[in-house]
Structure 1
């Protein structure tokens, strides 16, 4: 007899409906007169439609794509590292991507965006591999040591990046890369995020392999899988997604940590079953935080990275406390 997962298709459909509602709210927020002009006709309608298609819709799509891809990237990293407290912002991956962008800005400032993304991906992958190398050399008596090592590594990389940015008068640019802010997203400046969606779909197609890889090297080898190749491919997906988001709008902390943990409490560790939930819930979480940031001090707005950082850190501490009580 097949056991249906908790929540089932009805729960997934309800979550998808909430996502669509939030997308509509994000597009229409603060655009009441704009929407009225678009429906009224005439020259004003053409201008209103242009603003909606150039600014409002791209921003919503960028939020949706970033939230979905980063949440799935966090899930992949947790499966490969076999630790529930790891994600790109707690493993030095995002900080390494930021360092890559800074380096290419100093060495070749005229590099196109795709070149910056590829450089940031290479640096992010190198930083993640360094994180894994450190894990092999440190005795891991508790699972809480793993994110602590990642946070320390990320802090060291960020400190070095800040030093170089101050020396070459690029601190303002560094702040833009490290604070997730979608207020400046326009058509023509977010399209790289579709790469993140493609990588998310690739992860879904290989979900069963990553589920097996998460059970350990020996288990994967017994089933005829190349564990090292799976690890490298998975980390490359995580690094590319992190680089794309950082290049487009800056870093979004804790997203890849909170969402996969919430889904794992509901569905367990089957990656193929969890990825649709993680992707949709990631989009919901990011859109909700962005709407809150736009409403709290309206007509001004709080950057998305700040809102997610506050909410995510609180939820992270709650997860640590809850898991520690279970282990006690």
Structure 2
């Protein structure tokens, strides 16, 4: 009788994933919130435009059907050239930062990690601000995005190297290294801003650093949409290895997954995605930390479910935050980063407290 040979080791599945109906319900609810948020963002503002007029303007621009004489030129400009691109940019940036945070937490196996806490946001800001202040743009219109990507990549490399001192990736050392690099890069950014000769440039850069979507336009939407789509496809293709990476490098190696190479790929994807989003919207914090955690509570840690839900949640969240930033102190506009910080800081403290209690039992 032939002895049975053991098959190849199977990847641990972890906790039983939520039922598919739960995932579909999460998709439906979050998509509904996003659609409602986009509609509200286009409707609300200083200039009052009736909902019917808004709909006719959008339909006319998309299909060519309608009577352009039924609304004024100013209404057309406000709806089509100002509000709609801004709402779409908010959705793209929110989704991008949430996806970036989700990938970062998988990369370092720490739910308290995100691009902002680990210094990527300010690394990207240093690169973007340097281009704006100095005016050196060898690559033309994409110079700011490229500089932001390189800044994020450099910041992440420093944080990762500091956290791996001794050969192991210590979660506490990672957070502390990220905070130290963030403070250092914040000082560099402030120094660059002080070098600006034009007070108007200084004011606009400072407002952008706190997070701003005020410069949104149709031309600015193509790059973040393409980068977000490419990153999502790449991450979803690596969803199973990402799940295994959460269990540790030894488990990944036993399952034939090259953890070091996977981390390098994630490293580049996260830096690219964060750099592009920061170049367009400035320092919008806490989305990459809080949104992935909330999405994980809804659909679990399987990245096949987690990534799409985090993207939808991040998009809807930033659209709603932008509405609040534009209307809370009307007619004054708040930087969106201020609103996300007010919301995110208490949630971050709760997350740290919960994490510490689960780890230490205190």
Which consecutive residues of structure 2, in runs of 5 or more, have no partner in the other structure?
1-15, 57-65
- What's 2:62 paired with? none
Report if aligned partners of 1:293, 1:301 keep a CA contact under 8 Å in 2.
yes
Q: Deviations over 1:40-62 (max 9, x none)?
A: 94535362334422111111110
User: TM-score by structure 1 length?
Assistant: 0.90
- What's 2:7 paired with? none
- What's 2:320 paired with? 288
The Cα RMSD (Å) is 2.6
- What's 1:180 paired with? 211
- What's 1:25 paired with? 40
- What's 1:113 paired with? 141
Report if aligned partners of 2:295, 2:310 keep a CA contact under 8 Å in 1.
yes
| Cα distance change on mapping 1:219 and 1:58 into 2, 3 Å | same
- What's 1:66 paired with? 93
**Do structure 1's residue 318 and structure 2's residue 344 form an aligned pair?**
no
Aligned length: 328
| Cα distance change on mapping 1:45 and 1:7 into 2, 3 Å | same
- Report the CA distance between 1:225 and its aligned residue: 2.5
Which consecutive residues of structure 1, in runs of 5 or more, have no partner in the other structure?
none
- Report the CA distance between 1:97 and its aligned residue: 1.0
Match of residue 262, structure 2, among 230, 234, 241: 230
Residues 1-328 of structure 1: matches in 2 within 5 Å?
A: 4=19, 7-30=22-45, 32-33=48-49, 35=51, 37=53, 39=56, 41-43=67-69, 45=71, 47=73, 48-105=75-132, 106=134, 108-109=136-137, 111-137=139-165, 143-169=171-197, 171-172=202-203, 174-198=205-229, 199-327=231-359, 328=361
Q: Distance in 1 between matches of 2:342 and 2:299?
A: 26
User: TM-score by structure 2 length?
Assistant: 0.82
Q: Deviations over 1:271-323 (max 9, x none)?
A: 11111111111112111211222221123221211101111111111111222
Residue range with higher mean Cα deviation, 265-274 or 301-310:
265-274
| Cα distance change on mapping 1:141 and 1:237 into 2, 3 Å | closer
- Report the CA distance between 1:265 and its aligned residue: 2.5
Report if aligned partners of 1:87, 1:256 keep a CA contact under 8 Å in 2.
yes
